[in-house]
Structure formats: C-alpha cells, structure tokens
Amino acid sequence: MNYLVTGGAGFIGSNLVNRLVTEGNHVTIIDDLSMGKKCNIRETDKVKFFEGSVMDKNLLSSIIKAETFDYIFHLAAVASVADSIERPLETHKVNYDSVLYLLNLCKKYQPGLKRFIFSSSSAVYGDIDLPFKSESTPVKPLSQYAVDKYAGERTVLNFYNLYGVPTSAVRFFNVYGPNQNPSSPYSGVVSILTDKFQKLRDGEKTYFTLFGDGKQTRDFIFVDDVLNALNSIAISSKSLGEVYNVGTGTVTSLNQIIKILSGIYSIELPIVQKSVRKGDIRQSVASKEKLTSLGFDATYTVNEGLNKLVRSFHERK
C-alpha cells in the first residue's frame, strides 16, 4: 500500500512510518523537522522524505497530484497548546488551513483513497468536569490549538458527508513512547520524566518540576496501542465520517507515573513542586466505548508501556 504521513518524522508519525515500512508498505513523508528528527525514521528505500511545511501549498499539491495514495495520515501540527497561545496565526495555518487544503486536493486528485485520518486532540473537551470524556460530550475548546483541532475535525467529517472523501478523525489523549521529543517545557510529561531519569542515572544532577500535587490524572496510552487504534479505524467502514477518542479508559495520576519510573530506574528523582499550570486540567480520561466497538482495546498497562519505553532507550545505545 502507498501511504502519505504528514509529520512523519515526529513522535507518533515516525512510530507509524516505521511500522508501515516494516510491514512492506511505501510511505511518503512531509515534515519540516520543527519537532521531528530524520533519525527517528528507519533508513529504507520504502520512504520518500520531503522536508517542508504543510503550509507550503505548492509542495502539498505537487505531491498529491503526482502520487496515488491508499491512506493519508495528517499528523503534522503545532503540537503544543502553549505554543498555539504564543503563535495563534501560525498555529491556525498549520493546524487548520493545511487540513482544508489537503482535503480539497484529495477530493480532486485522489479518487481511490481508502482513508484520510486527521489527528485531533482531547484538548477539544477543555476543562469539562466529567469523569469520562465521550465523543458525544459537548466540546469546550479553550485555546487556538483546541479551536483549530475541533474545526479540523468538523471539516474532515464534512468532506465525507458532502463530497464522499473517506475520512475519520481521532482525539489523542496522552500518548507516550519512543521518539517523543522532551526538549520543550510543554513536551509530554512522560518524555520529560524519562529524560530526567536517564540524566540522573548517567550521573548528571537534575530535578523534575512538578506542577501541583501530582494527583492530577491523565489517560496515558502507549504509542504502539495508538498505532493499533489507527489501524482499526483506518480499515473499518463503520468509522467513515466519525471521530474517535484514542485512549485506554484508565486513569493514572502523575504521582503514579513518577513512582513506576523510580521503580524501573531504581533511583529517586528530586522533585521541586510549583503551583498548578494555568489552564491545567485536573482529570482527563477517555470513554473508550466507541473505539472498542471497532474491536480495538489497549494492550499495554502504564507499567508495561513505561518498561518498554525505558528498554527502548537502552536498545538504541
């Protein structure tokens, strides 16, 4: 099969690309390397790499016109809410305009496309105080990031309903795993924590800044499970024109994550406690019913996923 993965050098994108090529597929990647790295992608002649932004309309149109794709995963994005608050216009261009532009190209030039999958976020739910967030829960997008993700979803689903472009959207919860870049203060907390634990183990002095009491909960999902979820959605006909939470339905507190990692590394990471981040959500967990109705269920517990993640660092060395 022939795939297009935007953001294919990034965290989720590179894990997806590596799995696809291992399965014998061909993948075209568009990535501007703003967060992703070329070294995240396995070296193979099955990958065509275009270094560029999804804001570059000429690049998108030349690729869509030249190739015939079976599946398109649109994962490129300004991935941080905080970044979107600092750069609302650019976020909008990357996170929304590119979606509309790509879909319009697919409508014209990709008649054989099997599925276009758009990556949205649990951010669309905002701070709604509910134990489980289900796809039918009213949304409350509180940042430009969340507004654009929600608008992107609606556009993607409308393109199926109005023009028959085969689309689905996914709302990622807290994804963790190999190739997650820990370099920004707004990087995923698991990538920040494992980076600190690695440094400490290598003899560097470091500490973790804990915002709040650590009792905040999240739905942490290991990236391999995310890839399985994406596959279940991509091959199902029931998921056409639909949006899905991608989470495990299990709550884990930040304190639990720190405790598990301390156990894996057999070290105590010094912690400096600070006040809760502005806009931080206390509890976030996905209702997983809609996704499990496609036959998917997460296979990794947080304990297993974190163990596998730490092992992956050693395998690379």
- 132 sits near ligand UD2 (criterion: CB under 6 A): no
Q: How many CA atoms lie within 13 A of 227 on its CB side?
A: 19
Give me the phi and psi of 15, to 5 degrees please.
Answer: -65, -40
- 209 sits near ligand UD2 (criterion: CB under 6 A): yes
∠ CA 158-73-97 to the nearest 5 degrees?
A: 55
- Applying CB under 6 A, which of residues 218, 243, 245, 305 lies at the interface with ligand UD2? 218
Nearest to 55 by CA among 1, 9, 102: 102
- 201 sits near ligand UD2 (criterion: CB under 6 A): no
- 211 sits near ligand UD2 (criterion: CB under 6 A): yes
- Applying CB under 6 A, which of residues 280, 293, 295, 312 lies at the interface with ligand UD2? 280
- 94 sits near ligand UD2 (criterion: CB under 6 A): no
- Applying CB under 6 A, which of residues 60, 113, 123, 251 lies at the interface with ligand UD2? 123
**Closer Cβ to ligand UD2, 104 or 253, answer by number:** 253
Q: Of residues 3, 125, 145, 244, which has the active-site annotation?
A: 145
- 277 sits near ligand UD2 (criterion: CB under 6 A): yes
Catalytic residue at 71?
no
What positions carry a catalytic annotation?
145
**Residues at the interface with ligand UD2 (CB under 6 A):** 80-81, 121-123, 174, 186, 188-189, 192, 209-211, 216, 218, 254, 277, 280-281, 284
